[in-house]
Structure 1
Amino acid sequence: MSTTRLLLLGVVRIFQPAYGYQLRRELMTWNVQEWANINPGSIYTGLRTLAKHGFLQEIEEGAGNKPGRTSYKLTVDGESEYFTLLRKALWSVDGFNPGQMQAALSFLWSLRRDEVIAALESRIVQLEQQAKAEPFSERQILEDPGTPNHVVEMFRITNARDRGELEWTRNFRDRVAEGAYSFAGEAPDWAPHPSMISQWTEIPDPPA
């Protein structure tokens, strides 16, 4: 749920104020249904839930307009929650929830470079510690008579992912330290194509 909440708050923060259908359309271009386990239809429910909890402000159009014209923007609490979730996703290693880091990557530009480097170095330490413990945890599984034989392969595939993430994190840390990408307080290194901006100026009809 925290990954879903981060994605919704983050995309609202980029385009606010924006209509629910626009936000859904944007998230679908990120293929969140594949790596974040978000059902496209649940995006509207998630937005309403965040508004109910005070993290989003719902902006209703005046009477006489078409139904479904509700736009969203972050509240003060929503801004705070966004950064709390982003930092949690970045600083915490969770091998069973890879979508958490995927979501953090979508919004790293809203943090300063020195914090991103520090967090990546922390992740490297965490992953290295897990790697050191790996053979002993595997031995415990193999020596436990009550554990089915195939369970060790479940453990090994998770560790293989962690080793891959460790290699990527080291390389990513080096790229960021060498000046790659743009972060908060720096000049942006990318701008959307004008055609993409024009799409956001259009108010789409809500889904039937």
Structure 2
Amino acid sequence: MKLLHIDASPKGQRSNSRALARHFIACLREQNVELEIDYLDLTQQPPAHIDESFTIATYTPSAQRTAAMERTLAPSTALCRHVLDADALLFAMPMHNFSYPSVFKAFIDNIVRAELTYVVDESGQYVGQLNRQKALFITTRGTDMRAGMPLAHMDALTPSLNAAFGFIGVRDPSFVNAQPTQFAAAEARDAALARARIELLEVARKWAA
């Protein structure tokens, strides 16, 4: 299995999402899944935010692009290749202000690309090209946003990830959300991480089956 593993936490070695991603990979290996890991740390190599030249180039049909346009798009095209070439996708990130970190938004903006990760068919329908990849999103939330909790309605992260990746073809992604990891007593934080590790083992067993 070729696994694209992307971290997006700015906390480095203190990051819970990074630790949980490493735990998931260990779980896969315990299930005897042979892995080829393609690793990207978006905090160390942040994708560029979209600017005017990118917008012009990406909406110019590929056959009509100039060499300068192709150079503008080259980093985005390379990110698309990482995603398209993978068999499975592992994204780990904290929640920042109810959604994903800005660096991950830039990543999404770079990989939602016409003629690469989605195409428009003869009937005008958008067809995502990532329909064979498994996907797992590991997120950490400072407060508890599970169903029934007072702030559950503030979770803009999960629907946004479903929308963006569903558009480019990802179907039925798995979510493991560790919560609360900040604004709670130590016992609640420890319990949240323990629940997440159990859920990650279940996902690993599912992927290995």
Q: TM-score, normalised by structure 2?
A: 0.28
Identify the structure with the greater strand proportion.
2
Question: What is the TM-score of this pair, normalised by structure 1?
Answer: 0.28
